[in-house]
Amino acid sequence: MCITDFLRLRTMTSAALIACALLAANAILAAPAPARPNVVFIMADDLGYGDLGCYGAPDIRTPNIDRLAAQGVRLTDYYANAPVCTPTRCAFMTGRYQQRIGGMEWAIYPGITTTGLPGAETTLAEMLRDAGYATAMSGKWHLGYKPEHQPNAQGFDRFFGLLSGNHDYFHHRERMGMADLYLDEKPIEMRGYSTELITRHALDFLRQIEARPFFLYVAYNAPHFPYQTPDDADAPDGYLLPASRERYVKMVEALDAGVGQLLAALDREPLRANTLVIFTSDNGGDIHARNLPLAKTKGTLWEGGIRVPCLARLPGRIAAGSVSSQVAITMDWSATLLQLAGAKPPRDRPLDGIDLLPLLTGQTPPVERTLFWRRVDQREIKTHRAVRSGNWKYIDEPGGARYLYDLARDIGESRDLAAEQPARVEELKTKLDTWETSIAPSLYSQSGRQVPVRKQ
């Protein structure tokens, strides 16, 4: 080969290589972006902090929920937004402190049909649907009865479940006797145990919506009162059954069986690889729950009322078997899901939560948080407040009682340090007072005098 032929061949080869490189670059640019994760958010009702095997339960078998801990992350310092149902669910749906929305600080009582999540709020379901997600809910709503307050009017394409705070698991009537089982906006009659029906409809929704990114909210009413097990179908009134730890255990195990069915459906490829599964509770456990090692129960602002189990699985991003002590709260998941979906809240409704995924995947180191709680129970006509800042927890009770705990050394809140550290008490009280200036004031002052509520 002469030198001229060699140079011509080298030039042709270089040109071919450049063309291939350009084609490859264009292919990369033209390739579709990774699919946005699907989301299955599972919320239990009144589940105690220590009522899962992975949180130390000695008498409840929860192999399916525990599998989420083995395949994902277990959070040790995760909180509900409130010590009761409605306000936590409100915070999840809006991504904001529920106190910013007047009248949503306590559970909606049976028969009260005027209160509900205002239509002026833009819900998580609406924001995800606008971002292209299919949205479905199966389970307990507890954010209002009127048509404009119901799930289908608040961003869910499909809904099955109950609107009230609890109902008879077999007769599907709430405590005042009103029928409470719906498919979309229509009341329906159906035989079966509520926990199993919620699972069945969640699976039906999965089969219908898996062709596009989806958000499935599975809100079990178990193990909330009344204490009915799958064996109690013949009981004429579930509300009259005797409450016991034994019944509670069976209810949690039935819930775990439902989670197992959901995971079996999600573990089919490609769903498993691209679905974020979250499991948590709306507040701490009630009288028959095991909240150990925490103090007190549902309805209080001690740890047993607000610190709850939380597990999350996202294969390839969240390390299997990991444990996180990152302080987090219900409304953080709202911010996390919106970030994953590429959705943003309205400008006049900024989020109060943070994106948890970088923290749970190790992309960013743990961050110190300051979180607030305020409990207003109209029956007591009193206001209870609390703040956690770093490892310090301050509780401000009606009548002037103040409590201070170092949660790093005293998770059970057994040693009150308020008298020993008055400066820290004042510091945390000031943070609480400052926070309250940014949200709607309490319905009731410490004196019991009713004050106006403004929406923020």
Annotated catalytic residues are: 85, 142
Nearest residue to 360 via CA among 282, 294, 256, 276: 276
Query: Could you give the CA distance from residue 412 to residue 302 in angstroms, rounded to a whole number?
Result: 9
Q: What is the residue-wise DSSP string for 384-431?
A: EEEEEETTEEEEE-GGG-EEEEETTT-TT--S--TTT-HHHHHHHHHH
**3-state secondary structure at position 22:** helix
Strands (E), 53-128: 73-75, 78-79
CA atoms within 13 A on the CB side of 241: 23
Nearest residue to 455 via CA among 444, 445, 441: 441
Query: Could you give the CA distance from residue 376 to residue 431 in angstroms, rounded to a whole number?
Result: 19
Q: What is the residue-wise DSSP string for 344-360?
A: ---TTS--SS---HHHH
Contact 402, 387 (CB under 8 A): no
Q: How many residues does the chain have?
A: 456
CA atoms within 13 A on the CB side of 212: 11
Query: Could you give the CA distance from residue 456 to residue 440 in angstroms, rounded to a whole number?
Result: 6
